[in-house]
Chain A
Amino acid sequence: MSAPPVGIVGGGNFGWGLAHAVERAGREALLWSRRPQRTGTEHIDLVSGPAALAACELIFFAVPSPYVASIARELGAHLDGGHFLVHISRGVVGDDLHGLTQVLRSETPCRRVGALAGPLVAEALITGGPSGGVVASRFPEVRAAVREAIGGPLLRLYSTDDVTGAEFASTAVGLFATAIGFAQGHGLGPAAQAMLATRAMAEAARIGVVLGGKHETFMGLAGFGDLLAAVAGDERPELAIGRAIAENQPFEAIGSIGGTYFEGLESAGRIAAYTRRVKLHSPVITLCAGAFAREIPASEAVAALMSREVGEE
């Protein structure tokens, strides 16, 4: 029995990157996008509606997090318990900071769900350059299906069952990349950036553990691995957004750099509210939330970060 096609929802860079990775792995890809922007290839079929994706077993969600729920609802009407859904979005939902796998579960009949996290970038997926990531799912067969669909010698995919940790780490990295861009915009050097990144990740890990994740996930590809890629300059928009915030550019101008600004703004606010509620110490994320929303002047945010009391690591 031949392997079924792999579905991809979303026609942005990541959606196309995944489709090319599927093609390279010798599988058929079905890509559904309201604005596909490009034309299909021999092994990448553009489909006009969600119904066609019912033929797939594994379906990737490569859409910005605010759209995941509505698209999942539309697609869910055509799926059943046999489908596997895996998203690549950063973001948390609700007061209790649920990951987007929860959205996939509540909007579709699918339960075998997962998240793809880590330093994967669209460019490497498209060109087939060396890259890697981590696939998180409570279901070993989902983790195996993702590796079969896009993995290969140059795309190393590790796996974990810590979905909560991987999703939260991925969201936190988005915020911290912005914070590092912000620090760069203020002329802070490598040592200060490293300090910020390290303390921020320790903070994210503390929150992640309270949410039910594992500390080591934050020290792996989904956490530090991803953040290192951002700092090393993999051209993700968050750094540019951070620098634009530091320069006090208007909201609209920052938003035009990438939709991730608005996602980050929302996530930072949610996480800060959560840590206030459960009394978790989260100075970096709280400052991120304030600075992103322009409630704290940029100069004050930097001063506040540097003037914090020094304690045991």
Chain B
Amino acid sequence: MLARPMRSIVHRLLSRPLRLPAMFGPKPQPGDPQIFRFNSEREEIITEVVRRTEEHFAADPKRLLYALNEAGHAEIRRLAGQGDAEADLALGSWRRLVKRLGKMSHEERSDSLRSISRVMVEDIAGNFDPRVYNLSARLIPGVLTAVMNPMGLPTQLLAGGFSQLDALISAEGPIDKLRRLAQIGTLVLVPTHSSNLDSVALGYVLLRANLPPVVYGAGRNLFSNPLISFFMHNLGAYRVDRRVSAAVYKEALKTYSCLMVERGYHSLFFPGGTRSRSGTIERRLKLGLAGTAVEAFSRNQTNGLHRPVFFVPATLNYALVLEAETLIEDHLKGAGQARYIIDDDEFSRIDRIYAFMTKLVTLRSALVVRFGDAMDPFCNPVDDEGRSIAPSGQPVDPGSYVRRRGVPSVDPARDAGYTRELGDAIARVYQRETVIIWTQLVAHVLYRYLVWSTPELDLFSRQRRRGEVAMPREQLVREVADARDRLLQAEAEGRVHVGPVLRSQSPERIVSEALSAWRDYHTKVVATEVGDDVLIEDPNLLLFYQNRLLPWAEELATEETLAAARSIVNQGGKA
């Protein structure tokens, strides 16, 4: 077995998730979500993931040898680059393994694979402590309110609630139905991904809506803060180390997430993979780990367990995005080669989180979470009883999709086909369930003006036009009003949603608040008022916020601005 590297106490504290002692923990009650039973099942789950991972590779001696070699070389490459004491120890183990591999028997190689995958799965596996859950249920609103607005805390406590937070984050969609479906089957939440705050915000929304907690894979970098790590780890998050590229690790991770859904743990996946760099709504989804929920359904059917799986698309619509500056910069730099892992963005800086929160709390509906209707793994809508509904309006047996000539089976190639279809279907729901927020609309109108004023420029030349183009404020207000009317028309046709502030406030106020929100949060000046004009200072952030409106850009335009809107749409496709 590979030796576990020694770690200092400090390092352990910083990198290993803390848990409360298991003694005197509450016993799960009937009707509690499956996750309340996690700790009693944890060892069983880890053992099963290790068994399946071994089965996947060890059935074929050549495959096993290749997998061990590939893992060894990938880890040696990674750890050599990491260059710290911890890496050096692990490096030695991997080097010894690679050296011995050629002389090992098949059984010895299987043993090594088992040991390696065991270490990996132990690192992945989460934890769930009902005490932490109950504690956070009581604390989160207070903590968040305190962080966001300490002066407001006594008032909130005296008033007996946290209405400020309620006003800050609003949740829309068929929530009652989701509550019912959670009792019938396994929910798989598949939201858009804009910020590292998404999972925290969603967790809060689920708690407030009396929906069950979900398990989800969180990037290892999110565990670097011991306090956040403590809560995440004890609330069902499992660790995903994106630096590890070994196929054995990926297989173990996939198997873990599959097994969680298989066992009825409500789950959360971001099917876009990473945060949207450009600010656009994700259009082509690979699904990644979310695809394992399809396999989980097939496995259960094959084992005679007919527990439904419900995919629930959701959109998270922020007035301000914490990491906007880093994300759009990364997008423009890379345009296709953007960094997969960003570990130096605003999320890693407490001062930026604080600035963000303090600004956010002054806004009403700073985040609108909108749930779409649930669908089965085969893109069929489901009714209130959780039955899959065919286009004819009749129920259809979801088990029929994994049967061939009456026999259910687990077929990865087939399930990959379903997963692709599901990705397309979720992307369509994203567009329909997007909630347009006032900052996005103001950004769009300003950016459209910039494009209108500089028709001869390409994207990158235009993004350099800082402080050169000013839009008359009166025209900005007028165009925002007109674009809002057009959005409301699209909403009436069921093609998009309009956020509460954008719907209810005057265009004049919407413009003022957008300028103020950007000014108070972003380190870069987005746009400033100069006399009767609004001067465009940072086209990058405008591009980021307005990109959310790309699918509707043409219909929001007047005859005069149509060419600019088309140019934005085409540019959006390329950049």
Residues of A within 8 A of B (CB): 1, 4, 57, 73, 76-77, 80-82, 105-109, 111-112, 137-141, 161, 212, 277-279
Residue numbers in A under 8 Å from B411 (CB-CB): 141
Please tell me if the beta carbons of B414 and A80 are within 8 angstroms of each other in the complex. Answer: no
Interface set, chain B 130-144, CB cutoff 8 A to A: none
Residue numbers in B under 8 Å from A73 (CB-CB): 391-392
Alpha-carbon distance between A5 and B566 when the two chains are bound, in angstroms: 51
Please tell me if the beta carbons of A1 and B405 are within 8 angstroms of each other in the complex. Answer: yes
A-B contact list, 7 entries, CB within 8 Å: A57-B405, A76-B391, A81-B399, A108-B391, A109-B390, A139-B414, A139-B417
Distance from B373 Cβ to chain A, minimum over Cβ atoms (Å): 16
Q: Other than the known A82-B403, A140-B414, what 20 A-B pairs have Cβ atoms closer than 8 Å?
A: A77-B390, A80-B397, A81-B397, A81-B398, A82-B406, A107-B391, A109-B380, A109-B392, A109-B396, A111-B379, A111-B401, A111-B417, A111-B421, A112-B414, A138-B420, A138-B421, A139-B414, A141-B413, A161-B417, A277-B566
Please tell me if the beta carbons of A105 and B401 are within 8 angstroms of each other in the complex. Answer: no
Distance from A58 Cβ to chain B, minimum over Cβ atoms (Å): 11
User: 0/1 per residue, B262-300, Cβ < 8 Å to A?
Assistant: 000000000000000000000010000000000000000
Residue numbers in A under 8 Å from B394 (CB-CB): 77
Alpha-carbon distance between A237 and B131 when the two chains are bound, in angstroms: 74
Q: Does chain A have a CB within 8 A of B40?
A: no
Distance from A16 Cβ to chain B, minimum over Cβ atoms (Å): 26
Please tell me if the beta carbons of B391 and A111 are within 8 angstroms of each other in the complex. Answer: no
Please tell me if the beta carbons of B405 and A106 are within 8 angstroms of each other in the complex. Answer: no
Please tell me if the beta carbons of A76 and B390 are within 8 angstroms of each other in the complex. Answer: yes
Residue numbers in A under 8 Å from B397 (CB-CB): 80-81
Q: Does chain A have a CB within 8 A of B25?
A: no
Q: Does chain A have a CB within 8 A of B573?
A: yes
Alpha-carbon distance between A76 and B396 when the two chains are bound, in angstroms: 11
For the complex of A and B, 7 pairs with smallest distance between CB atoms: A81-B401, A81-B400, A109-B390, A138-B417, A80-B400, A139-B417, A77-B392
Alpha-carbon distance between A76 and B391 when the two chains are bound, in angstroms: 8
Distance from A75 Cβ to chain B, minimum over Cβ atoms (Å): 10
Residue numbers in A under 8 Å from B398 (CB-CB): 81
Residue numbers in B under 8 Å from A137 (CB-CB): 417
Please tell me if the beta carbons of A141 and B390 are within 8 angstroms of each other in the complex. Answer: no
Interface set, chain B 457-516, CB cutoff 8 A to A: none
Interface centre among A73, A111, A141, A279 (most CB of B within 10 A): A111
Alpha-carbon distance between A139 and B391 when the two chains are bound, in angstroms: 21
Q: Does chain A have a CB within 8 A of B4?
A: no
Interface centre among A57, A109, A140 (most CB of B within 10 A): A109
Q: Does chain A have a CB within 8 A of B404?
A: yes
Residue numbers in B under 8 Å from A107 (CB-CB): 391
Complex: chain A residue closest to B402, CB-CB: A81
Residue numbers in B under 8 Å from A278 (CB-CB): 569-570, 573
Alpha-carbon distance between A80 and B420 when the two chains are bound, in angstroms: 19
Interface centre among A76, A106, A139, A161 (most CB of B within 10 A): A139
- Known A-B contacts A106-B391, A140-B414, A141-B404; the reply to A279 vs B396 at CB < 8 A is no
Complex: chain A residue closest to B416, CB-CB: A138
Alpha-carbon distance between A127 and B29 when the two chains are bound, in angstroms: 70
Please tell me if the beta carbons of B396 and A105 are within 8 angstroms of each other in the complex. Answer: no
Please tell me if the beta carbons of B405 and A141 are within 8 angstroms of each other in the complex. Answer: no
Residue numbers in A under 8 Å from B284 (CB-CB): 212
Alpha-carbon distance between A116 and B391 when the two chains are bound, in angstroms: 24
Please tell me if the beta carbons of B570 and A111 are within 8 angstroms of each other in the complex. Answer: no
Q: Does chain A have a CB within 8 A of B447?
A: no
Residue numbers in A under 8 Å from B566 (CB-CB): 277, 279
Option from A82, A106, A138, A212 in Cβ contact (under 8 Å) with B404: A82
Option from B380, B401, B416, B418 in Cβ contact (under 8 Å) with A82: B401
Distance from B139 Cβ to chain A, minimum over Cβ atoms (Å): 45
Complex: chain A residue closest to B379, CB-CB: A111
Option from A57, A77, A140 in Cβ contact (under 8 Å) with B413: A140
- Known A-B contacts A81-B378, A82-B401, A141-B404; the reply to A109 vs B391 at CB < 8 A is yes
Alpha-carbon distance between A180 and B421 when the two chains are bound, in angstroms: 36
- Known A-B contacts A1-B405, A4-B405; the reply to A82 vs B400 at CB < 8 A is yes
Residue numbers in A under 8 Å from B416 (CB-CB): 138
Alpha-carbon distance between A138 and B416 when the two chains are bound, in angstroms: 8
- Known A-B contacts A138-B417, A139-B414; the reply to A81 vs B391 at CB < 8 A is no
Interface set, chain B 338-390, CB cutoff 8 A to A: 378-380, 390
Please tell me if the beta carbons of B420 and A108 are within 8 angstroms of each other in the complex. Answer: no
Distance from B562 Cβ to chain A, minimum over Cβ atoms (Å): 12
User: 0/1 per residue, B184-197, Cβ < 8 Å to A?
Assistant: 00000000000000
Please tell me if the beta carbons of A81 and B396 are within 8 angstroms of each other in the complex. Answer: yes
Alpha-carbon distance between A33 and B397 when the two chains are bound, in angstroms: 28
Residue numbers in B under 8 Å from A76 (CB-CB): 390-392
Complex: chain B residue closest to A74, CB-CB: B392
Alpha-carbon distance between A139 and B380 when the two chains are bound, in angstroms: 18
Alpha-carbon distance between A76 and B390 when the two chains are bound, in angstroms: 8
Residue numbers in B under 8 Å from A108 (CB-CB): 390-391
Interface centre among B396, B402, B566, B573 (most CB of A within 10 A): B396
Alpha-carbon distance between A290 and B124 when the two chains are bound, in angstroms: 60
Residue numbers in B under 8 Å from A112 (CB-CB): 401, 414, 417
Distance from A81 Cβ to chain B, minimum over Cβ atoms (Å): 3
Alpha-carbon distance between A279 and B573 when the two chains are bound, in angstroms: 11
Complex: chain B residue closest to A142, CB-CB: B417
Interface set, chain B 393-438, CB cutoff 8 A to A: 394, 396-406, 411, 413-414, 416-418, 420-421
Alpha-carbon distance between A109 and B405 when the two chains are bound, in angstroms: 16
Distance from A86 Cβ to chain B, minimum over Cβ atoms (Å): 14
Alpha-carbon distance between A130 and B397 when the two chains are bound, in angstroms: 41
Residue numbers in B under 8 Å from A77 (CB-CB): 390, 392, 394
Alpha-carbon distance between A112 and B420 when the two chains are bound, in angstroms: 12
Complex: chain B residue closest to A102, CB-CB: B424
Residue numbers in A under 8 Å from B400 (CB-CB): 80-82, 109
Complex: chain B residue closest to A106, CB-CB: B391
